[in-house]
Amino acid sequence: MTASVSGEPGSEGELWVFAYGSLMWRPDFAFSFRCKATLKGWRRSLCVYSHVYRGSPDRPGLVLGLDRGRACAGVAFRIDATLRESTIRYLRQREQATEVYIERMAPITLEGGERVRALTYVADRLHPQYAGRLGREAMLEFVRAGAGMTGDNAAYVTETYDHLLEIGVRDRELEWLAARLRSNASSPARAETPV
């Protein structure tokens, strides 16, 4: 069951989409404009167990969701009116694979100061895949173990972190995780000690 966009202002006109995770660097939809943007009242968090894209029910990974917090810096995409409906359909298929996100329209501020309403996806705190706020070591273990339909969880975290750096956003949690994931990946394998 797919609900309509919460607070969606009609079905005509251009659409703005707010991205905070892999959608920033892999939107896979056509857009006419892209810029940095901020959403207040929500924060980026590795708070969703991934059972499809970056993990499985037996070995879940962790993916980003918007959880309650101060503010989240991300990317806004402007979609032409002619592509509005097809883009919403695509996003619902991509983001609602297990219905762990709630689709909503929210006010965002573009880097130039303009305020617009944008479609985005927030974590459903009542969903069984909602992980809540985990400690860093626990997050690291889930990320190291997770792999799913679109690849391994470690690549998801490091690519998101790299993209945030490119747009001038510092995320201390992803920074900590990316450093450990990369140091682990570049460490030579230990030779086994004979018994």
Domain ranges of the chain: 15-185
| Domain 15-185 in this protein, CATH class | alpha beta
What value does the mean pLDDT take over residues 91-111? 96
Q: Specify the pLDDT at position 32.
A: 97
Cα–Cα distance measured from residue 128 to residue 63, given in angstroms and rounded to the nearest whole number: 14
Q: How confident is the model at residue 184 (pLDDT cuts 50, 70, 90)?
A: confident
What value does the mean pLDDT take over residues 9-30? 89
pLDDT > 90 fraction of the chain, expressed in percent and rounded: 87
Cα-Cα-Cα-Cα dihedral sign, residues 77, 83, 84, 87: negative
Residue 23, phi then psi, degrees to nearest 5: -60, -25
What value does the mean pLDDT take over residues 150-176? 96
Q: Specify the pLDDT at position 195.
A: 35
Pick the closest to residue 64 from 79, 76, 74, 77 (CA basis): 74
DSSP string, 117-168: EEEEEEE-TTSTTB--S--HHHHHHHHHH-EETTEEHHHHHHHHHHHHHHTT
Q: How confident is the model at residue 186 (pLDDT cuts 50, 70, 90)?
A: low
What value does the mean pLDDT take over residues 33-38? 98
Lowest mean pLDDT among 28-37, 53-62, 117-126, 176-185: 176-185
For residues 180 and 93, the answer to whether their CB atoms sit within 8 Å is no
Full-model pTM: 0.88
Q: Is the pLDDT of residue 2 over 50?
A: no
